[in-house]
Every structure is written in structure tokens, then in C-alpha cells.
Chain A
Amino acid sequence: MSVLQARDITLAYDGVPVIAGVDLPVPPGQITALIGPNGCGKSTLLRGLARLLKPRAGAVYLDGAAISALPTKELARRLGILPQSPTAPEGLTVRDLVAQGRYPHQGWFQQWSREDEAVVARALDITGTTALAGRPLDTLSGGQRQRAWIAMALAQETPILLLDEPTTFLDIAHQLEVLHLLERLNREEGRTIVMVVHDLNHAARYAGHLVAMAEGRIVVAGPPREVLTPATLREVFAVEVDILTDRRTGAPICVPYGLCSPAAPSLGAAPGGERAHQPAVR
């Protein structure tokens, strides 16, 4: 099983460090969720893991080899990334989009092998987008579109899949649809998944491993039960919460009831709602 690990990495935008000296071992075969307030660097860390952002210091290792030293196509066959709110050209059909996932497997002359066809058909099938295959992306609902993008990432056939806020801008039903799909991919195909999510209860319910971040560092990482504690959430989000237990799944549920800091704005105590008040800093 592929092992992805960030060692002592520093990531910066335009010379301003967002993440400094962070170690992140990704547990193989599990779903890992990165949580934390806006601007804490979770998306940046994910981009670093996916080599979309080159570390200023330190490195990301895949099975012991630094990813910066791997040929980019080879890496793309082992590690897939779905960035936040990607956009497709107008009129592109779902099938054409998903077929792009085969890019790292294709060459000058081998551009649509039987294997490509079979893998794309399977990716459409597992994401429930087969019936939409001929439709242009711009005619789909947000949830359908997100499933199409996930299908593209699946067609890449990578053992590791990174997703940046895959449920953002989706209503609750579509959020669950996407999370169920990721859970299936993890359970049935053994794919390692790392995702940035905003909803703490979704993180606790679907991820086996949580990484809580604040101000460019990892505060605590571990199983949901150990990470979602009143003390940690006070430190990470500056919110006061009660932790309950979901009777169906045994997962922790956090119920926010207030802000700790009087300096903070009085609105939007819920962790999922803070997005609306602050510009997203990536």
C-alpha cells in the first residue's frame, strides 16, 4: 500500500510562509480529513502533498521517494488530486471530462485503449454518472458536476486520492452523496483518501483519521474521538462545544454553543458557517 508523508515541509505563497516545518504521515488505506479554520493552511498543505505547490523546505515522500524527483506522469498514476471548485470549458461532456483522467496513462499513439474505455465506464458507473455521460457539464446540478469531477479523478486510477473541499457549495443531500461515494471507494477499493472538509461532524463520521490545524501547524492528529474534544476545538476554532455521541455510528458529534474570544465577531459561531464572514485565505 502506498505511503504518503510530508516531512518538515514549509509552504509559502509569494514568499509568505503559510505552513512552516510540518510533518504529516498519511495513514494508508484510511480516510484522512484535514480540519481547521479558514486560512489555517489546510488547503495549502493538501496542495503541497499533491505537488501543486513546491515546498520551500522539506519534502513530500511517496513510498520513500521524494515526489519532486518523480516524473510528473508517473506521480499522476499514483496520486490524484481534485482541486477546489475546478472549472471545465463550456460544452464539455461528462464523458469527455472523465476521459481526461486517463491522460497520465496515455501516449502519443495509445490514446484510447480498451483499458481506458473500461476504466472510464467503471468510473462513470461507480459515481452514478453513466446516464449523464453525454450531457455538457454546465447543464448539471452542483452535486452531479462534483460527481463527474470525482469520476475523472477515479479514472486516473491512483491508490491515493486527495480532495480539496469536495462538498463545498453542495446542499446536504449532495454532500452526503459525495461522502458516501468516498467511503465506498475507501472500503471497497482500499483507496487512501485525504480531504479538506469544513463540517466537523462529516469529518468525524466519514474519516478514520482527523488532522486539526491552526495557524499553519498541526495541533493534533488521530482518531475523531481523540481530536474532537472541547479543549482542541477551543484551541483550533476558538469555539466552545459540547461533544455528544452519534448513537447510530458511535462517532463524536460536536455541538457548538459559543465563541471563546470576546474579540471575535458575534455572528457565525457554527464551524461550518464561518466561511461566509471571512474571505477565504489560501
Chain B
Amino acid sequence: MRGAAARGPIVIRPGRLPLSWTVDRRVPPVLLLLGLATVVATVLSVGYGQYFIAPLDVLRTFLGLETGNPNHPFVVTTLRLPRVLIAFLVGLALALAGTIAQGLARNPLASPDILGVNAGASLAAVALIVLAPAAPFYLVPPAAFAGALVVAALIAALSLRGGGSPIRLVLIGVGFAAVAGALTTALLTLGRTLFAARALIWLAGSVYGRSWRELWAILPWLAVFVPLALLLARHLDVLHLGDDVARGLGSRLALWRGLLLLTAVALAGAAVATAGAVGFVGLMAPHLARRLVGPAHAGLLPTAALTGGLIVLLADLAGRALFAPVELPCGVITAIIGAPYFFYLLYRSGGS
């Protein structure tokens, strides 16, 4: 990999237009491979289930071709595809939010949790489920989103004062997460068992039963904030060098940090509102991506995004396949893989 870096970056400079761009040489092949893996995993995941559909038939149905089985279009397009796409998009959004959080905190062990998104969303969702069990379940996602925004806004407002140093962000984020977590636990303990159980399932993070409606709900957020995240890569690179260096290079710290924070919160909030608190993706994906393409964000952000999407997609497939017909939420799978990974990272960073 070092050999590839030594040959220099790829430069894109079309004609005489005042446009130019550069990216690490490792990025295009990595993105291509991740893209291919995503397509393969999507086809397998859509085909898998009690009603098994062969990969070739899944592909045919995607392309609108006849498979000779009249059930295929319904099972593939209506039942399974939206769920699989949502798993991918949720992972993608969490990974982008995690990459931004780690860049802002200047700490590779940070996760979107320090932004308070999961804590706020969980608290709001559990409060709704436990305190107002009569409320229809479709109110949970917007409530979770609102909770995420409120807590994230509080953290942002408190940590951005005075330019917002990374350590301030981390400490305030951890503090709020602890308080919100305690309140959530209190609600679960005090609430009736049935409602608490329902809330716990939501907390685990799952894409069970998600349909096109949820997909259309999350898409506008991604359509705005995914491109924004990619556009802000340059500013995140500079912030990553520390406040003094960034200011010396002419970065407007409060502006870019605020925009990046907003982007990360919107992405993580949209994800958690759609699928609940799917954990560790925002921590793992940027890490794996950094190993693949290095720390420059122009390449890191898209790589982490595809990695995160693929992780949740595979976690959902594994959750359905491992103990079938019993289904494990994808959040449980990501936690089973993510928690040891996190400890491994902690161990490694402690050793150096």
C-alpha cells in the first residue's frame, strides 16, 4: 500500500476549466471493490429468507426481466429490497457521521455517540414507548430524530463556545451521553415490562419490517448531507491538524466545525430514527477505511461510507441467517463484532 502512495495521487484537472481535484491512488480500486461487494451482498441478502430466491433470479427481477415465478417481483421489490437498501443506507450514514466525529474530536476512538445523537434518540424513543404506550408506533422515528437533534444541539452549543476545542466536545458529549443513558435506564426500569421490552428491541437497532415508506423518509436527508459531507472533506482535513495549525492556514474554525457537526448529527439522526441505535458502525467503518486508504478525508469519507453500508447489510443478513427462523436485530450483530474490535483498538492505542 505504501508503494501505491509513493507513486503520488491521482489528479483530476479537466481541460481549462477552473476545476481541479486530487485523491489518493488507493481510493478508486477500493471503492470499486466495495461497490462490487455491496452489489453481491445485496443480491444475496434479497434472495435469502424462508422463501429462498436464487441470486440469478434476484438479478433478473432487479432488471425487470421475467423469472418464470410470479411471486418474485413482490417478494424481491416490495418485501425485501427496501429493508436491504435501508440497512445499507443506515450503515452509510452512521459511517460518515463517525468519520466526521473522529476527525472533529481528533481521536480515532471517537464515535457518533459523542455527538449525543444515539443518547438523545434513545431517550426520546424510550420515553415515548414507555410513557405513552398508546401512541402509534410510527411516531417513534420522528420522536427519536427530535431527541437526537435536541441533545446534539445542546452539546454543540456548549462545546462550540470559544471555538470548540476537541477535548471540550468529547467531554461534554460523554457527559450528556451518560445523563441521557441514565434517564433511559430509569425509564426502562420504571416502565411496565411489556413496553420496556418493546423499547429494548428498538434500542438494539433493527431494520426489521422496514418498507419503501421509511426509505423515502431517510432519502432526502442523505441527498442533502452526504454530498455536503464530501464537500467538507478539505476543511475536515485541516481541522484534523489541530486548532492552531488550522487557524494558521486560514480556516474559519467555528463555521466549518459547526457545519460538520450539523452534517454528522443529521446523518446519524436520520440513521437512528430509521433503524434504532445500531452501535459500533460509526466507530468500525472509519477505522477499517483508514487502513484501506489512509486518513485524507476526500478518499476516507466515501470509503468509510461504503464500508459502513456493507457492514450493516451483512449484519442484517447474518442476523436473519444465523439462528433462522429466529431473527437477531442487526444492531446485536454489529455489537457482537464491534465491542471486541473496540477493545482491540483501545488495547492497541494503549500500547503505543
Contact = CB atoms under 8 A, between A and B. Distances in A.
Interface of A: 47, 50-52, 72-77, 80-83, 86-93, 95-97, 99-101, 103-104, 106, 108-114, 116-117, 133-136, 153, 156
Nearest to B3: A134
Interface in B223-280: 231, 234, 237-238, 240-242, 244-245, 247-252
A116 B12 CA distance: 13
A269 B237 CA distance: 43
Contact of B19 (A95, A101, A109, A133): A109
Contact of B244 (A83, A90, A103, A156): A83
B295 A82 contact: no
B8 interface: yes
Contacts of A97: 241
B73 interface: no
Interface residues of B, number: 36
9 contacts: A50-B248, A52-B247, A86-B244, A87-B242, A88-B241, A90-B290, A91-B295, A95-B9, A96-B237
B42 to A, nearest CB: 31
A3 to B, nearest CB: 19
Nearest to B243: A52
B39 interface: no
Given A104-B250, A110-B18, 13 more contacts: A51-B247, A89-B240, A90-B295, A92-B296, A95-B8, A110-B20, A111-B22, A112-B9, A113-B20, A114-B13, A114-B20, A134-B2, A134-B5
Contacts of B106: 89
A165 to B, nearest CB: 13
Nearest to A70: B250
Nearest to A113: B20
Given A52-B248, A77-B250, A93-B5, A106 B240 contact: no
A88 B18 CA distance: 30
Given A89-B240, A106-B234, A109-B18, A76 B6 contact: no
A96 B248 contact: no
Contact of B20 (A52, A103, A111): A111
Nearest to A93: B5
A74 B244 CA distance: 17
Nearest to A135: B2
B249 A76 contact: yes
Nearest to A162: B248
B251 A111 contact: no
Contacts of B11: 112, 117
A113 B16 CA distance: 11
A81 B20 contact: no
Contacts of A117: 11
